[in-house]
Amino acid sequence: MTNFTNFRFEVDSDGIAVATWDMPNRSMNVITPEVMEELSAIVEKVAADEAIKGCVITSGKETFSGGADLTMLQGLGAQYDKLAKEKGEEEAMSFFFEQSRGLSLLYRRLETCGKPFAAAIHGTCLGGAFELALACHHRVLSDSDATRVGLPEIKVGLFPGAGGTQRVARLMQTGDALQMLFKGEQVRALMARNMGLAHQVAPRDGLVQAAKEWIKGGGSAVAPWDAKGFKLPSNKVYSAAGMQIWPAANAIYRRETQDNYPAAYAILEAVYQGLQLPMDQALKVESRWFAKILRSKEAAAMIRTLFVSMQELNKGARRPKEVPPTKIRKVGVVGAGFMGASIAYVSANAGLEVVLIDKDIEAAEKGKAHSHKLVSDQIMKGRAKTADRDALLARITPSATYESLADCDLVIEAVFEDPKVKAEVIAKVEAAIRPDCIFASNTSTLPISGLAKTSKNPAGFIGIHFFSPVEKMMLVEIIMGKETGDTALATALDFVRTIKKTPIVVNDSRGFFANRCVLAYILEGHLMLIEGVPPAMIENAGKQAGMPVGPLSLNDEVGVDLGLKILRATKAQLGDAAVIPGQEALLTRMVDGDGRLGRKNRKGFYDYPEGAPKRLWGGLKELQATHVDGETLDMSELKHRLLVTQALEAARTVEEGVITDPREADVGSILGFGFAPFTGGALSYIDFMGVKRFVELCRSLQAKHGDRFAPPKILLDMAESGDTFYSRAGSRKAA
Ligand code: NAD
């Protein structure tokens, strides 16, 4: 037995080696420079030792591996910049190319070393780890529900650069391969085998044995694409069949990415060029694209926000250190309506005991039935078992009496959005709970400090703001009232961690963070409509800018009437000047005049006919006083307006101290409302554009469209000092 730090290496009496990847002091295996070094030594040992017939690679952890350490790639970028400054671009680029293809070369060496390698995989095996498996000559997956394989690199602005694009495109039809690479989805074991990504599915405890048997049975050490007579699954690129694929592939690429993701374009190129070359050259092409993409600002922005920052926030970056871990066992949810029922479900699903209260037991039972429906759907899809449903439902106790909250550690209210109702509920809850129980409100519009005024314990009062649909949305805003204490914050963060969502901590303000930006986006859509921009163009501009849906469509989802309600509340509290009369007139006409409330009544900016796709409402034209010819409009200006208005709002939340950490605005904007992910989020959008340029852009929009585009002082100061949101935050932390 030879020992490595990150692998256990054993050879059995049949001469079959097993390399068990099991990194010390880490819960997960991850590809690091040391892992690469040791893997390389293992490959060389297997190749050189005549007594070794072949090698199985498996994991000693609960799961296989999540892939490469992205901070390692981030470090490479920093080295590039340093070298470029010291020795020039050319030298830096060649260093970067050689470094960034290290993993690809290592895997290719494994594939061509002359001995068969088999991967035995249980749990998740993603990114660079799955590329390792793809380079092995045989892949056995465990039949467990926990097993997933996939190449999710595209989600952080990268693409699989260690052979993934080439091997997948040689295992599957080109169209399917592109789809998989573009989407970055995780695939379960049986599906992976059916797709041709794995050879065998076996029970977990027989995995390594199955892989060994394959080697013992004379498994080939030659990859299919290195064997004579290999045929590409979709035939040669320059064949009649092969050529049919590319126009469609181009169209799918454009539809899915709006040309905003250089990594997706690189996938298209790497596969197209690579399939015309033998493997070694194909890998070189892939590596060239990889080095280029790794240096793109989109990859830098996405890695920072969607990998590094998100991980930091998930691990409790904002949690007050001095508060010891709270032990949340039982949660009370008051209000078993649309939101409350779902909050009860996600809590019970995470293993917490839940007391679900409504005005009467029937309403509470109805809320619990929502969980029954959600788990049943999971069972139908094969993602849960009947026993899981029984256990989950047993954890939810419906009730109509507040005394049932007596031993809760945290209570979340989700009753009607009415300060009077809330005050009443707060009093009833506080009379029933332990003094150390934390009280949270899920209000979306009422300031937490105001609600806390009716509380006996404002230090234990906090906002936990969920987004709908709760089951799907990964973001939760934690709202700090003026008097909210550290224990309440720690408890709220621990709770969000338990239900496996991502928290951002914001200070109290009207609309908190996410909804402020969302409303700005929707407002801009309304104003374009009023100006006479063709509605379809407004929606396309939103999507082309990188938003998941256009502003009018988004308004339909949240409810046109809700938009009007918020506008009227704002006007009542802040005065006439706080609202734009044109928007008020538009919404009043839609809601009060035409009864168009949005998707909920199948009539909003769109019509939602039964059994047919939604379509823009024909009557919108009549709401427009003028009609601008689309040909005369500048699409890039429309796109800018839609993103800039949100980024400006985000900048204002920083200026006002609502957001205190740029990571939270960035992560929150992508997870909360899908702010163009390739930008890295609403503040990174400004940072990567350069504050100076952003301010100029604001000024030109202000001149044409009004003072809502006026850059706030914080941006003027930053443009002057050369700061970015992240450099400001960094220097504050260091101070
Ligand atoms: P809802 O009307 O669907 O549910 C409210 C529930 O509270 C009802 O079941 C009602 O019977 C119950 N209730 C009312 N008064 C009560 C009382 N005194 N005691 C016990 N139960 C009482 O409303 P919803 O959409 O679930 O919204 C609830 C809260 O969540 C609101 O504060 C809202 O602002 C907030 N919120 C809503 C959304 C959303 O998308 N709907 C998103 C985030 C936050």
Phi/psi at 533 (nearest 5 deg)?
Answer: -65, 135
Asked if residue 269 and residue 142 are part of one domain, the reply reads yes
DSSP state letter for 155: G
Q: What is the pLDDT of residue 72?
A: 79
What residues does ligand 1 touch, defined as CB less than 6 Å away? 334-340, 357-359, 363, 414-417, 421, 424-425, 442-444, 466, 468
Identify the pLDDT of residue 277.
97
Percent of the chain with pLDDT over 70: 99
Beta bridge partners of 333: 356, 412
Sheet holding 148-150: strands in order across? 124-126, 148-150, 186-188
DSSP 350: T
Report strand pairing: 16-21 vs 7-11.
Answer: antiparallel
Residue with tokens 């001995």: 115
Alpha carbons 355 and 437: distance in angstroms, whole number: 14
The pLDDT assigned to 732 comes to 61
One-letter amino acid at 141 equals L
Would you say how long the chain is, in residues?
Answer: 735
Alpha-carbon dihedral of residues 487, 334, 469, 328, nearest 10 degrees?
A: 40
Q: How far apart are CA 254 and CA 544, in angstroms?
A: 10
* CATH code, domain with 49: 3.90.226.10
Structural domain includes residue 307: no
697: its two tokens: 């852009």
Task: Report the residue among 415, 426, 446 best suited for mutation to probe ligand 1: largest number of ligand atoms under 8 A from its CB.
Answer: 415
**Residue 563 to residue 169: CA distance in whole angstroms:** 47
Residues 208 and 68 in one domain: yes
455 and 392 part of one domain: yes
Residues facing 56 on adjacent strands: 18, 118
Separation of CA 471 and ligand 1 centre (Å): 16
State how far the Cα of 504 lies from the Cα of 462, in Å rounded to an integer. Answer: 13
- For the CA atoms of 324, 325, 328, 332, the dihedral, rounded to the nearest 10 degrees, stands at 60
3-state helix, strand, coil in the chain (%, to 5): 55, 10, 30
Percent of the chain with pLDDT over 90: 91
Give 398's strand partners.
Answer: 356
Residue 583's alpha-carbon distances to 509, 549, 593, 617, in angstroms, are 22, 20, 14, 18
- Considering the domain boundaries, does residue 81 fall inside one? yes
Neighbouring residues of 230: CB distance < 8 A, sequence distance ≥ 6 = 170, 224
Query: What value does the mean pLDDT take over residues 53-62?
Result: 98
Q: Are 579 and 668 in the same domain?
A: yes
Is pLDDT at 1 greater than 70 in this prediction?
A: no
731 has pLDDT over 90: no
Cross-strand partners of 330: 353
Please indicate, yes or no, whether residues 270 and 351 belong to a single structural domain of this protein. Answer: no
| Same domain (yes/no): 551, 655 | yes
252-258 average pLDDT score: 89
Mean pLDDT, to the nearest integer, of 233-251? 89
- In-domain check, residue 305: no
Q: What is the pLDDT of residue 71?
A: 81
Taking CA atoms, 234 is separated from 231, 240, 243, 278, 487, in Å, by: 8, 10, 10, 16, 59
Q: Which of 553, 530, 537, 546 lies closest to 674 in space, CA to CA?
A: 546
Among the candidates 278, 295, 312, a domain finishes at: 295
Tokens 């049943």 — which residue?
376
User: Could you give the C-alpha distances from 339 to 98, 345, 399, 467, 468, in angstroms and in order?
Assistant: 52, 10, 17, 9, 7
Instruction: Classify residue 164: in a domain, yes or no.
Output: yes
pLDDT band at 598 (very low <50, low <70, confident <90, very high): very high
CA of 445, closest atom in ligand 1: 34
Section 70-91 average pLDDT? 85
In a domain, 483, yes or no: yes
CATH code, domain carrying 575: 1.10.1040.50
CA of residue 337 to ligand 1 center, whole Å: 5
Of 489, 408, 407, the C-alpha closest to 448 is 489
Q: Both 437 and 567 in a single domain?
A: no
In this prediction the pTM is 0.92
Residues with Cβ within 8 Å of residue 63, at least 6 apart in sequence: 28, 122, 123, 124, 125, 146
pLDDT tens per residue, range 27-47: 999 999 999 999 999 999 999
Is 195 in the same domain as 175? yes
Is the model's pLDDT at 252 over the cut of 90?
no
Angle subtended by helix axes 262-274 and 279-294, to nearest 10 = 170
Question: What confidence tier does 152 reach under pLDDT thresholds 50, 70, 90?
Answer: very high
Q: Rounded to an integer, what distance in angstroms lies between the CA atom of residue 221 and that of residue 534?
A: 61
Q: Please check whether residue 303 lies inside any domain of the structure.
A: no
Q: For the residues 327-345, what does the mean pLDDT come to?
A: 97
Number of domains in the chain: 3
**What sign has the CA pseudo-torsion 692, 698, 701, 702?**
negative
Distance 676 CA to ligand 1 centre (A): 30
Look at residue 627 and tell me if it is in a domain: yes
Q: Give the residue-averaged pLDDT of 221-243.
A: 92
Q: Parallel, antiparallel, or unpaired: how do β-strands 138-142 and 475-480 relate?
A: unpaired
What integer pLDDT is reported at residue 75 of this predicted model? 79
The pLDDT tens digits of the residues spanning 99-114 come to 889 999 999 999 999 9
Interatomic CA distance for residues 165 and 606, integer angstroms: 40
235: buried, middle or exposed (CB in 10 Å: 19+, 13-18, 0-12)? middle
Is residue 117's pLDDT more than 80?
A: yes
What is the C-alpha to C-alpha distance for residues 386 and 378, in angstroms, rounded to an integer?
10
pLDDT value of residue 475: 98
260 in Cβ contact with 546 (< 8 Å): yes
My answer on whether 562 and 690 are in the same domain is yes
Q: Which CATH number does the domain housing residue 342 bear?
A: 3.40.50.720
Regarding whether 560 and 681 lie in a shared domain, the answer is yes
Ligand 1 centroid to Cα of residue 11, in Å, is 62
The tokens of 329 are what? 């066992």
Looking at 510, 533, 550, the residue that finishes a domain is 510
Domain range enclosing 548: 515-730
**Given pLDDT bands bounded at 50, 70 and 90, which one contains residue 457?**
very high
Measured in degrees and rounded to the nearest 5, phi and psi for residue 462 equal -150, 165
What is the separation, in whole angstroms, between the first and last Cα of the chain? 51
Q: Mean pLDDT over residues 189-213, rounded?
A: 97
Q: What is the mean pLDDT of residues 45-57?
A: 98
- 145 neighbors 177 (Cβ within 8 angstroms): no
Pocket test of ligand 1: the residue of 333, 334, 338, 360 to mutate, having most ligand atoms within 8 Å of its CB, is 338
* pLDDT at site 297: 92
pLDDT of the residue at 735: 45
Report how far ligand 1's centroid is from the alpha carbon of 101 (Å): 54
- Strand bridging mode 148-150 / 124-126: parallel
pLDDT score at 581: 95
645-699 per-position pLDDT tens digit: 999 999 999 999 999 999 999 999 999 999 999 999 999 999 999 999 999 999 9
Q: How far is ligand 1, taken at its centre, from the CA of residue 494, in Å?
A: 23
Q: In this structure, are 479 and 545 located in the same domain?
A: no
**505 and 547, same domain (yes or no):** no
Residue 424 within any structural domain of the chain: yes
Residue of 356, 416, 467, 468 to test ligand 1 pocket, by largest number of atoms within 8 Å of CB: 416
Residue 628 has pLDDT above 70, yes or no: yes
Last residue of a domain, one of 483, 510, 537: 510
Is the CB of residue 414 less than 8 Å from the CB of residue 334? yes
Distance of CA 468 to the CA centre of its chain: 16
